Amino acid sequence: MYIHVNGELIPKEEAHISPFDHGYLYGIGLFETIRVYNRHPFLLDDHIERLNKGLQMIRINFECSTDVWKTRIDELLQVNGYSDAYIRINISAGIGELGLTANPYNDPTTIIFSKPLSVNGKISEKAATILKTKRNSPEGVFRLKSHHFLNNVLAKQELGNNPRREGIFLNEKGYIAEGIVSNVFWVKDRIVYTPALETGILNGVTRKFICSLLRRKQIELKEGFYEPDHLYDADEAFMTNSIQGIVPFYAVDKRHFPGNNGEITKILLNNYNKYRETLMSSKQLKKGLETDERQKTD
């Protein structure tokens, strides 16, 4: 297997980073996970936009266009022989002296990882549980997809390794936040609910896509502060992330849900599957839906 390190393709056995990299020493770095369907990196523009904004915030002076990242991803897919894959772009601060610094980082370490995935091999439904581990507050103004993952690791240790389960964080005030590796949604009386960004959650790229899709489909969406009982009282529920897409919940704790048979869930799944091999950004969704409507009337 090959990986991309600082712009070069190398066998994974030859890859290395310095022990003085501040990504290793202090967790200063960001990453993006991207799902490739039939060699198409779904919503890559949105991932790179979030990545570039985050790098500016933590003063890592590095920016590549979507075209550059796509070229590197294409090279990695080709050399490894993958068509459907998990991609992780990883940017750490780079080499520095021991001790914290207020200076910007001008020579970061960039790595692209990949592994093959099966389109038909995903788990179709999961059960979820409300965690005892609380979601920590974001370190800055908003949550970044950073290397600082200890809160998620502690939650995973609480939940265990069962791939058919997801843990749901409450924030420090007791409001529903997000999953260990996901954003969460639920439906009541055809209204879709999801925690507001102000609860301290990551603004997931797939979350953003689903919110945009709901508005385009004129399905009411409410973002806010909700306690667990609001979720337990729902008609259907699901999680989203960039690798697994939309995953319905068949249960949250002792409350059972229809899973794949949820009315709104089916609408979203059908549209996600329709656009996953074409869209580079959720901004393109409007054009895609308009094209679908024209085709219906032709």
- β 245-252/126-130 pair status: parallel
For the chain, what is the domain count? 2
Residues 54 and 130 in one domain: no
Residues 14 and 110 in one domain: yes
For residue 295, being part of any structural domain is answered with: no
Long-range contacts of 225-230 (CB under 8 A, 24+ apart): 225/173, 225/175, 225/195, 225/196, 225/198, 225/199, 226/175, 226/176, 226/193, 226/195, 227/174, 227/175, 227/176, 228/130, 228/170, 228/176, 230/176, 230/186, 230/193
Cβ contacts of residue 218 below 8 Å, gap of 6+?
A: none
Give the pLDDT score at 286.
78
Handedness of CA 7, 106, 101, 30 (dihedral sign): negative
For helices 205-216 and 285-297, the axis angle rounded to 10 degrees is 40
For helices 205-216 and 263-275, the axis angle rounded to 10 degrees is 110
Give the pLDDT score at 294.
57
Is-contact 280 43, C-beta < 8 A?
Answer: yes
What is the domain extent for residue 32? Answer: 2-116
The predicted-structure confidence for 157-185, as pLDDT tens digits, reads as follows 999 999 999 999 999 999 999 999 999 99
Residues 17 and 145 in one domain: no
Average pLDDT of span 9-35: 96
Read off the DSSP letter of residue 105: B
Residues 143 and 234 in one domain: yes
For the domain that residue 97 is a member of, what is the CATH number? 3.30.470.10
Question: Smallest Cα–Cα separation from 165: which of 144, 179, 145, 147?
Answer: 179
Give the pLDDT score at 121.
52
Q: Is the pLDDT of residue 1 over 80?
A: yes
d(CA 110, CA 69): 11
Residues 230 and 184 in one domain: yes
Residues 112 and 193 in one domain: no
Q: How many CA atoms lie within 13 A of 197 on its CB side?
A: 11
**Model confidence at 298, in pLDDT bands (50, 70, 90)?**
low
Domain boundary among 116, 147, 171: 116
d(CA 120, CA 123): 9
For residue 83, being part of any structural domain is answered with: yes
The predicted-structure confidence for 202-253, as pLDDT tens digits, reads as follows 999 999 999 999 999 999 999 999 999 999 999 999 999 999 999 999 999 9
The count of residues in the chain is 298
Domain boundary among 61, 90, 116: 116
Residues 178 and 280 in one domain: yes
For the domain that residue 257 is a member of, what is the CATH number? 3.20.10.10
Q: Where are the beta strands (DSSP E) in the chain?
A: 2-5, 8-11, 29-37, 40-41, 85-92, 109-116, 126-130, 165-170, 176-179, 183-188, 191-195, 221-224, 236-241, 245-252, 255-256
